[in-house]
């Protein structure tokens, strides 16, 4: 079972199904999820403040590389426009913002994966704000 955590501002996008993916760093084990893996999506940053917002299964996993202003997904270099669209789909305001976040949280070049899921929302019983 995989657990992914999201900020509260992305909850409406996730529960509506508009956001159905995440870019994650390669784990230390080197093992990435495979299609069919179960996933739980949470709002919050840890066990004490997390709220389950959706459950589902991974339907696709593709490698992601980011170095400077260049990005490749599944071995294909992205154009500037495609990189911008990718960042927007991830919930960032721009590719520059996505790039800055990666630089702040990971060493560059960033090597990770894009996991896409099919999920069903969980009715939220508590207020997130």
Q: With left for phi above 0 and alpha for psi between -120 and 50, is residue 57 left, alpha or beta?
A: beta
Query: Does residue 12 lie in a domain region?
Result: yes
Residue 16 has pLDDT above 90, yes or no: no
Query: Does residue 62 lie in a domain region?
Result: yes
Residue 53 maps to which CATH number? Answer: 2.30.130.30
Number of domains comprising the chain: 1
Q: How far is residue 23's CA from residue 119's CA, in Å, rounded to a whole number?
A: 16
Query: Does residue 126 lie in a domain region?
Result: no
Average pLDDT over residues 96-110: 90
Query: Does residue 127 lie in a domain region?
Result: no
Give the whole-number percent of the chain exceeding pLDDT 90.
54
Query: Does residue 18 lie in a domain region?
Result: yes
What range defines the domain where residue 78 resides? 2-121
Query: Does residue 101 lie in a domain region?
Result: yes
pLDDT digits (tens, 9 = 90+) for 39-74: 999 998 777 788 999 999 999 999 999 998 899 999
Helix (H, G, I), strand (E, B) or coil at 127: coil
97 strand-pairing partners: none
C-beta of residue 71 within 8 angstroms of C-beta of residue 86: yes
């Amino acid at each position: 079972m995989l657990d992914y955590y999201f900020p509260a501002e992305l909850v409406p996008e996730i529960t509506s199904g508009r956001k159905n993916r995440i870019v994650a760093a390669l784990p230390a084990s080197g093992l990435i999820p495979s299609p069919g893996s179960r996933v739980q999506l949470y709002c919050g940053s840890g066990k004490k403040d997390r709220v389950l917002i959706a459950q589902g299964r991974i339907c696709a996993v593709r490698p992601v590389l980011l170095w400077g202003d260049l990005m490749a997904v599944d071995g294909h270099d992205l154009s500037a426009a495609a990189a911008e669209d990718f960042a927007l789909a991830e919930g960032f305001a721009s590719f520059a913002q996505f790039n800055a976040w990666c630089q702040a949280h990971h060493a560059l070049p960033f090597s990770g994966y894009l996991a896409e899921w099919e999920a069903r929302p969980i009715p939220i019983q508590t207020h997130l704000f």
